[in-house]
A and B are shown apart, each in its own frame.
Chain A
Amino acid sequence: MGETLHTSNPLRDPADRRLPRIPEPCALVIFGVTGDLAKKKLIPAVYDLANRGLLPASFVIVGFARRDWGDETFEEMAREAAKSHARTPWREEVWARLAGSFKFVPGTFDDDEAFNRLDATVDELRETHGIVGNAAFYFSIPPLAFPTVLKQLKRTGMSDNRQDGGGWRRVVVEKPFGEDRESAAELNHLVDEVFTANDVFRIDHYLGKETVQNIFALRFANAMFEPIWNSNYVDHVQITMAEDVGIGSRAGFYDDNGAARDVLQNHVLQLLAIAAMEQPNGFEAEEIRTEKLKVLRAIKLHDDLEATAIRGQYADGWVQGRPVKGYLAEDNIPQTSTTETYAAVQLGIQNRRWNGVPFYLRTGKRLPKRVTEIAVVFKEAPHMPFADYDTKTLGNNQLVIRVQPDEGITVKFGSKVPGTGMELRDISMGFGYGETFTESSPEAYERLILDVLLGDKTLFPDAQEVDASWAVVDPLEEFWAGTKPEPYESGTWGPTGADLMLQSSGRRWRRA
């Protein structure tokens, strides 16, 4: 064969779909590794990836936090975390292969010395663990600390590896991406400057969910949905993201932000973008992003924000058979707080497909249950050859994408009630994606971490999308400034203002 050089791996064949995509040798550096996210999601996800055989043979986790730990203590903590939170069954031999691949660097974010040690540690791994210089930095830290850590990564040269023996360097940031358009721009500028725009991965874990990815399949792989997916047939769209829990231990962060910044700006608008976007030319990250960005930029708020931008704040009440405190009675929340725990808003999308179709978005805490759904509600049939009293209980046709829990799709349509009369009633037909497939469908973080290590950006919003989303939320925040959110009883579907918003046009929220 002589001295032929391969440019790509000869063993990889796109037609050979059994060979999973496995990242190149690399290190995952986690800042804030002692926090809840790292313990409950990131480390278990790494174990699950190992268990599914999706990690490269050379893989190291480097923890950085303010603890007086050695590598062994870190490994022990990681083991506990993986064992109690992993999705896949615990197998000692899988862990055994990760053992010895844990490094811990103690330090604070403003400690130059600590970052020098981190730099040296990552460099050493090139020799000791064969990671060939590849490393992803995961920011599992409060947003306030982002700039400090970014500057440290820049100072030590860790963020750019081109001079230093090669290998990729990537950074993963969690929401919130700023708290308004301006601060997001600053943050984006900083992170894009320290790394390159292409190496920045913004995690919106909703996009890692199978059902969300299935929306692409539903819409663009089928013939029967897309023709009616427009203003000719759709009456309106409802997107609900409800939580039954309160703010938990996030008081400080939450009170500064509220539901619109915490959830609406990212998860809910991303769901809207995927549900409403035009068909991408292909499935490359860039092609999908182009379409998402187009639709996000086409969003327009209603002129009458008084009636179409509703805020609420949970009062005490009962949720799932237990009494719960109101927001103002939660620990560390000031009595005078005007932060919203519920937001409902009506949007329009300024393009031909969605002209005149209202999109109703709502999200809130202490609602009756945890549920995330996209409901496409169709117009009434143009003419019904039935008597009015026969179709009295007949509603609009409806297609619901259940994102969580019980992932799946429900279609609602009218049918004849058995009997001699011509009585019509709604029935629903369900496709349970979750029930039968959950066992092996990867957790969102598992999928997203794998994509980071593979360098696949399809499921990550980029800086422009973040900016376009803030462009929607900023005017809302401005309008709400200085007002008090309407209280709603915990365990109910939110403030009455939100119901009135739909009632004025003869519609109503569906019971999710």
Chain B
Amino acid sequence: MHLKDTTTGDIMKTLAKLLHEVGGASGLALNLVALTTEDEREEVEKAASVAAQEHPYRLIMAIPRDLETDVARIDAEVTVGERLGSAEAIILRLDGPAAAHLSSIVLPMLASDVPVVTWWLLDPVRYGLEQELRSFADRRITYSARANDPVQSLYRRAETYVSGDTDICWTRISLWRSLIASAFDGVTHAVEKITIKAAENDPSAQLMAAWLHTRLGVSPEIVDTTVVRNSEHLPAIASVAFTMAGGETMEVERKADGTTVLRQAGLPKRRQTLQGRTLGQLLAEELRHIDPDTAYRKVLETFQEHYAGERAIV
């Protein structure tokens, strides 16, 4: 249902009415507040409807529209079920000062008691809304690969980290990390050298290096490589190779078609498939964990200390 030039009170009345009509079940697990633009709206909606199958949530999508005008205005679309899957959704288009006072609009719309997750695909600095969103978020999900300078954006995440932050660039290396971790199950020797072939400007590659560094105490070398990816949400990592103290080697290599080969001294080659997941699947993985990801925090610290180089927040 579309509401023109409306108020939060009317929006919530409309939502209550729609929920009443569908005999609304009230098993909400969380609130998801997504900051997006009209261009990205469809992508966000699609991802949100996938993730909603796993996590019943109230989706509040805020789209800053005309920022030039002085007249604050809220247009809203309220849906239950329909194109956003099982989620109850409120899509807000905000003009003028309304956008800058986002928290005053969102706070009364949040379902009580359950956690609030904020998520944005945008470069978070673009709208100056970082503080606004931080004020009520239990978790903040960003996607630094989407920024103009992805690694700089990740660095900014590290500098301004608060408990509960994560980045989709971390989410999307879970499968890679899992594969590497299982290859290490039988390994008893210490690691002496690690080489990562990856696109240097991919935050996921930086996080991979920082993770291995954190866990193994060895600083990996990133060899800048062009990586052919068949999905945007794949990390731009081609291979990770280890040399052990005993001289043995182990390598995980992903080919362009997704075939991933594990070569380990003394064992036959083993194959896996690593494909990029959809944004919705990545979001669903993120929402599975509502408590702060302390493993990520440590990795981000290592990144900040060893890999960020000479950077500053600009």
- Contact, CB under 8 Å: A57 / B177: no
In the complex, which residue of chain A has the Cβ closest to the Cβ of B180? A11
B215 near A11 with CB under 8 A, answer yes
- A437–B182 CA distance with the chains assembled, in angstroms: 28
Q: Are B273 and A97 in contact (CB under 8 A)?
A: yes
Please tell me the size bucket of the interface on B: 35 or more
Q: Which of A1, A96, A129, A440 has the most CB of B within 10 A?
A: A1
Q: How far is the CB of B103 from chain A (nearest CB, A)?
A: 28
Give A20 to B285 CA distance when docked, in angstroms: 12
Tally the A-B contacts, defined by beta carbons under 8 Å.
Answer: 122
Which of the 9-residue segments A277-285, A428-436, A455-463 touches chain B? A428-436
Chain A residues in 8 Å Cβ range of B190: 1-6
- Indicate which residue in B27, B218, B271, B295 contacts A436 across the interface (CB closer than 8 Å): B27
User: B181, A11: Cβ atoms under 8 Å?
Assistant: yes
B111 touches A (CB below 8 Å):
no
Asked if A22 is at the interface of the complex by the 8 Å CB criterion, the answer is yes
Per the 8 Å Cβ criterion, residues 282-297 of B in contact with A are 284-285, 289, 293-295
Asked whether A20 lies within 8 Å of B178 as measured between CB atoms, the reply is yes
The A contact surface, by secondary structure, is: loop
CA gap between A130 and B265 in the complex, in Å:
11
Would you call B56 and A436 a contact (CB within 8 A)? yes
C-beta contact mask, A1-28 vs B, less than 8 Å → 1, else 0? 1111111011111011111101011000
CA of A62 to CA of B218, assembled, Å: 40
The reply to whether B178 and A22 contact each other, CB–CB distance below 8 Å, is: yes
Tell yes or no: A450 within 8 A of B by CB: no
Residues of B within 8 A of A18 (CB): 171, 174, 177-178, 285, 289, 293, 295
Q: Kindly provide the distance from the CB of A439 to the nearest chain B CB, expressed in whole angstroms.
A: 4
What is the distance, in angstroms, from A380's C-beta to the closest C-beta of chain B? Answer: 28
Instruction: Provide the bound-state CA to CA distance between A16 and B179, in Å.
Output: 14
Contact A57:B183 (CB < 8 A) given known A5-B189, A18-B295, A439-B53: yes
Contact A9 B289, beta carbon cutoff 8 Å: no
Choose among B215, B273, B285, B293 the residue that contacts A10 (Cβ–Cβ < 8 A). B215
Cβ of B6 to closest chain A Cβ, rounded Å: 28
What's the dominant secondary structure at chain B's contact region?
Answer: mixed
Task: Closest B residue to A99 by CB, please name it.
Answer: B271
* Complex interface: chain B residues within 8 A of A12 (CB): 181, 184
Cross-chain contact B245 with A432 (CB below 8 angstroms)? no
Complex contact B192–A1 (CB within 8 A): yes
Residue B86 contacts which of A20, A91, A436 (CB distance < 8 angstroms)?
A: A436
Complexed CA–CA distance, A439 and B56 (Å):
12
| Nearest chain B CB to A133 CB, angstrom units | 11
Judge whether A218 is part of the interface by a CB distance below 8 angstroms.
Answer: no
Q: How far is the CA of A430 from the CA of B24 in the complex (A)?
A: 11
A57 B25 Cβ-Cβ under 8 A: no
> Which A residues are CB-close (under 8 A) to B264?
130
B135 within 8 A of A: no
Asked if A93 contacts B275 (CB within 8 A), the reply is: yes
Contact between chains at A130 and B268 (CB < 8 Å): yes
| Chain A min CB distance to B302 (Å) | 13
Task: Find the A residue at minimum CB distance from B179.
Answer: A57
Evaluate whether A97 and B272 lie within 8 angstroms (CB atoms) in the complex, with A19-B178, A20-B178 already known.
yes
- Whether B137 is near chain A, meaning CB under 8 Å from some CB there, is no
A4–B218 Cα distance when bound, in Å, is 13
B186 at the interface (CB under 8 A from A): yes
Our pick among A3, A130, A435 for the contact of B189 (Cβ within 8 Å) is A3
Kindly name the residue among A1, A11, A129 whose own CB sees the greatest number of chain B CB atoms within 10 A: A11
In the complex, are the beta carbons of A435 and B182 less than 8 A apart?
A: no
Q: Within B257-314, which residues are at the interface with A (CB < 8 Å)?
A: 258-259, 262, 264, 267-268, 270-273, 275, 284-285, 289, 293-295
Closest B-chain residue to A53, C-beta based?
A: B175
- A56 close to B (CB within 8 Å): yes
Q: Which residues of chain A are near B271, meaning CB under 8 Å?
A: 57, 97
Central interface residue in A9, A24, A56, A132, by most chain B CB within 10 Å: A9
Q: In the complex, which residue of chain B has the Cβ closest to the Cβ of A14?
A: B295
Q: Which residue of A lies closest to B262 (CB)?
A: A57
Closest to A438 in B: B53
CB closest chain-B residue, reference A433: B27
CB of B184 within 8 A of CB of A430, answer no
Chain A's closest residue to B292 (CB) is A15
Contact at B25–A432, with CB atoms within 8 Å? yes
Instruction: Name A9-53 residues within 8 Å CB distance of B.
Output: 9-13, 15-20, 22, 24-25, 53
Closest to A441 in B: B54
Whether A439 contacts B289 by the Cβ 8 Å rule is no
Tell which of A1, A19, A20, A91 touches B245, judged by Cβ atoms closer than 8 Å. A1
Smallest beta-carbon distance B138→chain A, Å: 17
User: Closest residue to A436 on the B side, CB-wise?
Assistant: B56
Show 12 residue pairs from A and B whose CB-CB distance is below 8 angstroms, ordered by the A residue. Answer: A1-B192, A1-B245, A6-B190, A9-B184, A10-B215, A10-B216, A17-B289, A17-B295, A25-B185, A56-B185, A430-B25, A432-B27
5 residue pairs, one from A and one from B, having the closest CB atoms: A16-B295, A57-B270, A130-B267, A11-B181, A436-B56
**Chain A residues within CB distance 8 Å of chain B:** 1-7, 9-13, 15-20, 22, 24-25, 53, 56-58, 91, 93-94, 96-97, 127-130, 132, 430-433, 435-437, 439-440
- Using a CB–CB cutoff of 8 Å, the interface residues on chain B facing chain A are 25, 27, 29, 53-56, 86, 171, 174-175, 177-192, 212, 215-218, 245-246, 258-259, 262, 264, 267-268, 270-273, 275, 284-285, 289, 293-295
**14 more A-B residue pairs beyond the given contacts A15-B295, A22-B181, A93-B273, with a C-beta to C-beta distance below 8 A:** A6-B190, A9-B187, A18-B178, A22-B178, A53-B179, A57-B271, A58-B268, A91-B275, A93-B258, A97-B273, A129-B270, A435-B27, A436-B54, A436-B86
